[in-house]
């Protein structure tokens, strides 16, 4: 039930939309998930952070530090680190041209385990890049946590890198909850399922 109320709250705030949306790849999708808006809604933000905390506790994920993957993962990571009493790290989108010229900001001890935090996992490219930077600085990355896994290859890609991906829910679960409670029409839901199964292109 908590997952359903969270799904509804995300839709109410415009973080989940159904329609026809152009993707960065040039293709189209019958749904769009934009969790970068979450911090603009304090109650929703707290609920989302709580969902991460429950996930990490349930899965017994162990780590010493939290890293926010830019850009949406940074505010989420800050809040999680604060709630857990863990040190926070974040990545720059590009290295500084002065000072240490590092991509990684924050203190990291050799061999410390770092939890990667992001909002959505799609192909896993950003998470893999983050893992590479942390490992290059002497840290260990064994786990990543996201709110939504779009199931478009991220889990498999990260497994090859020795990183387990944990998600509060998959995109399919999110949209199924919205359909079950009547927030998505049967026709729209059918189109979404066909799209996810690769049987149609919007």
Structural domains counted in the chain: 1
> What's the pLDDT at 87?
98
Bridge partner list, 105 = 90
Q: For strands 16-22 and 28-33, give the pairing.
A: antiparallel
Give the pLDDT band of residue 202 (cuts 50, 70, 90). Answer: very low
Note down the domain range covering 9: 2-196
Query: Cα(93)–Cα(97) distance, rounded to whole angstroms?
Result: 12
For residues 122 and 5, give the distance between their C-alpha atoms in angstroms, rounded to a whole number.
23
Q: Does 136 score more than 60 pLDDT?
A: yes
Residue among 30, 37, 28, 20 at smallest CA distance from 12: 37
**Tally of CA atoms within 13 A in the half-sphere of 202 that contains its CB:** 23
User: Does any domain span residue 117?
Assistant: yes
The per-residue pLDDT for range 4-47, each reduced to its tens digit, is 999 999 999 999 999 999 876 677 899 999 999 999 999 999 99
Q: 63-119 pLDDT, tens per residue?
A: 999 999 999 999 999 999 999 999 999 998 765 555 456 899 999 999 999 999 999
Q: Cβ(167)–Cβ(146) under 8 Å?
A: yes
pTM, two decimal places:
0.92
- % of the chain surpassing 70 pLDDT: 93
Q: For the chain, what is the mean pLDDT?
A: 93
Q: How far is CA 105 from CA 24, 74, 101, 150, 179, in A?
A: 28, 12, 10, 28, 41
Instruction: Report if residue 123 sits inside a domain.
Output: yes
CATH number of the domain that residue 96 is part of: 3.40.50.2020
Name 93's Cβ contacts closer than 8 Å, sequence gap at least 6: 70, 71
């Amino acid at each position: 039930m908590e997952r359903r109320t969270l799904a509804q709250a995300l839709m109410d705030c415009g973080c989940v939309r159904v329609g026809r949306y152009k993707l960065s790849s040039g293709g189209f999708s019958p749904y769009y998930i934009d969790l970068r808006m979450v911090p603009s809604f304090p109650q929703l933000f707290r609920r989302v952070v709580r969902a991460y905390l429950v996930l990490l506790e349930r899965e017994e994920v162990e780590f010493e530090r939290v890293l926010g993957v830019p850009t949406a993962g940074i505010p989420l990571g800050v809040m999680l680190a604060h709630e857990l009493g863990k040190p926070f790290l974040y990545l720059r989108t590009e290295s500084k041209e002065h000072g240490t010229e590092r991509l990684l900001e924050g203190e990291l001890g050799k061999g410390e385990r770092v939890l990667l935090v992001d909002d959505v996992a799609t192909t896993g490219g950003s998470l893999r890049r983050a893992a590479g930077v942390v490992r290059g600085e002497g840290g260990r990355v064994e786990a990543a946590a996201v709110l939504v896994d779009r199931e478009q290859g991220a889990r498999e890609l990260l497994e090859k890198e020795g990183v387990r991906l944990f998600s509060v829910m998959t995109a399919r679960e999110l949209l199924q909850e919205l359909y079950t409670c009547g927030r998505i029409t049967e026709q729209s839901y059918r189109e979404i399922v066909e799209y996810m199964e690769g049987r149609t292109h919007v």
